[in-house]
Structure formats: C-alpha cells, structure tokens
C-alpha cells in the first residue's frame, strides 16, 4: 500500500474513532446523575405558614400568603417538576389538610389540601403542627412588656400544664395524616419538616421579649414538639427534615443575615415569629439535600 493510501486509512480510522467518542459522550450525558432531580416528578407542597412563606408586603389572592420566597417555590425552581401543586396555607392545621376546608384571609373556603394529592404524586413536602399545638400562645405567655423583666412562665403551673396539654394531640394527628397520604399516594416520597427553632437559649428585647430562663423554657417546648414530629416520621417510614438542628445559632435573636427567623418584632418583610427569606433559602437547601439522597436510593 502506498504512503498516501496508508494516510487515507489512518484518517478514516481517526474519523470513525471521533464519531464513536461523540456518540458515547452524548449517550452518557443523557443518563441522569444519581443525585439529580427528575423532571417527571409530581410535587405537592402541604402545610401551614412555614411552608407558605407569607410576607408583610402582600398575600396572594387566595389569602394563604404563599410567596415566591417560600421553600416549596425554591424547591420547585431547583427541581423543575413536571407537575407542582402548592396547597399549603397560612394558619393551617392537620384538620385543614384532611377534614375541614380552611377559611383563608380573603374569606374564601380553601379546598382540603389532601385533594391535591393523587396516586400520580411522587413527592410531598409538609410543614405542619405549630397551629395544632398553638405554640405561639405558649411562647407569648412568657413575653414581657419591659426590658429586663422576667415573667417566670417556666415556673407557672398553668403555663407548664398548657404546654404539656397542647402537645398531647399532635402525635395521633400526624400519624393519621401520614397514613392517609401514604394511602392516597403510594408512589410518593414524603418529607416531613420539624417545626424549627425560632427561639434560642436567650431572650433579646423586644424581638424575643423574655428572660434567658424563659427563653430556654420556650426552646425546650420547641424541642419536645420537634421530637414528636420526628417520632411520627420514623413510625410512618417517611423522611424527617431536621430544620431544628440546623437552626441552632440562627434563632430570632441573631443578627440580620444570620438569623433564619423573625421574632415578636420583625426586622424584614417576613411575618413576626416566622422564618425569614434567609431561613426559607436554608430550609429549601435542607429539603433538596434529603431529596437528592432519596434519588440516589432509587438508582441503586
């Protein structure tokens, strides 16, 4: 074979090798990474104001306070699901998900949140429980009107009894909620969030207007609530998203940009005693990390 013929053969072989390489790279790119979200997800977000992300600027037309800054909207932006239903509504209790239509701030009766869940649903996030236990009423019993004052709610038998009694119905309500969701959406991965950690181990008038000792009482109450939520998630076999543990050092008494919650006086456009936009972004990231772990399990 002449030198020219050998050169032509080598060039033809190089072109074939390059073509095969391109085909392989395209094929590999088409295979989703184990930790990547799937665009075919049918995502439903349930819950109360901690999911809705209400703002002092405005509520949506339905009166539920659902905003673009909420963690479900941020998850949707990251996940880009095929289907998304944002059913959460400020003020919701478990009964508003399962049993009784909720009257929104606009005066309209909201459909049951569970109606958004079908057998096609593949992903559910939930924040619920704070309104069921009336946690703000317990916290407010510790608030003072003057800086440096101490209500000593931690030592008040009525407040301690009210705190204990408020938590009693939470576990059976969560058990029924999670069981119902599993029946309605057998293919769905369910992610249940803890209540979080609005109050830390000290007060800061007027944002958290309590003594340090009473702030610790409120924090312990939050911890007990979070443990009940964790136990319900474990019993049902759903994923518990531990916002509370991650919130340590981000309570309402921390500086702007560090704190994830507003206190009894808000320093942002977020409502008092609610997560702010920094917190919503942090919560979305915590949910996303847990969702990615579940995606990895699917491909094993």
Taking the alpha carbons at both ends of the chain, their separation in whole angstroms is: 52
Q: CB of 276 within 8 A of CB of 260? A: yes
**Does the active-site annotation cover 274?**
yes
State the catalytic residue, choosing from 42, 96, 195, 274.
Answer: 274
Which one of the listed residues 36, 39, 49, 70 is annotated catalytic? 49
Burial of 16 (0-12, 13-18, 19+ CB in 10 A): exposed
Task: Determine contact, residues 191/126, Cβ cutoff 8 Å.
Answer: yes
Based on the residue annotation, tell me whether 35 is a catalytic residue of this protein: no
- How far apart (Å, rounded) are the C-alpha atoms in residues 31 and 169? 46
Active-site annotation, residues: 49, 274
């Amino acid at each position: 074979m002449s030198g020219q013929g050998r050169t032509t053969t080598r060039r033809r072989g190089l072109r074939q090798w390059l073509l095969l390489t391109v085909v392989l790279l395209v094929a590999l790119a088409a295979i989703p990474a184990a930790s990547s979200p799937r665009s075919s997800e049918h995502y439903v977000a349930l819950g109360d104001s901690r999911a809705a992300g209400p703002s002092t600027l405005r509520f949506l037309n339905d009166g539920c306070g659902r905003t673009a800054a909420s963690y479900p909207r941020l998850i949707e932006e990251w996940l880009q699901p095929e289907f998304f239903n944002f059913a959460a509504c400020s003020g919701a209790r478990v009964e508003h998900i399962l049993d009784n239509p909720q009257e929104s701030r606009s005066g309209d009766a909201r459909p049951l949140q569970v109606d958004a869940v079908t057998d096609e649903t593949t992903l559910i996030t939930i924040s619920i429980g704070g309104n069921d236990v009336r946690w703000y009423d317990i916290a407010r019993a510790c608030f003072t009107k003057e800086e440096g004052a101490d209500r000593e709610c931690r030592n008040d038998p009525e407040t301690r009894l009210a705190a204990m009694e408020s938590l009693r119905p939470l576990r059976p309500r969560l058990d029924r909620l999670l069981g119902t969701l599993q029946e309605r959406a057998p293919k769905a991965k369910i992610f249940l969030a803890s209540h979080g950690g609005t109050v830390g181990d000290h007060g800061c008038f007027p944002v958290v207007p309590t003594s340090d000792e009473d702030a610790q009482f409120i924090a312990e109450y939050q911890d007990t609530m979070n443990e009940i939520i964790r136990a319900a998630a474990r019993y049902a076999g759903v994923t518990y998203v531990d916002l509370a543990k991650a919130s340590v050092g981000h309570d309402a008494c921390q500086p702007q940009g560090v704190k994830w919650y507003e206190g009894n006086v808000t320093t942002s456009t977020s409502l008092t005693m609610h997560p702010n936009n920094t917190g919503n972004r942090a919560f979305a990231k915590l949910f996303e990390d847990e969702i990615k772990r579940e995606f990895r399990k699917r491909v094993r």
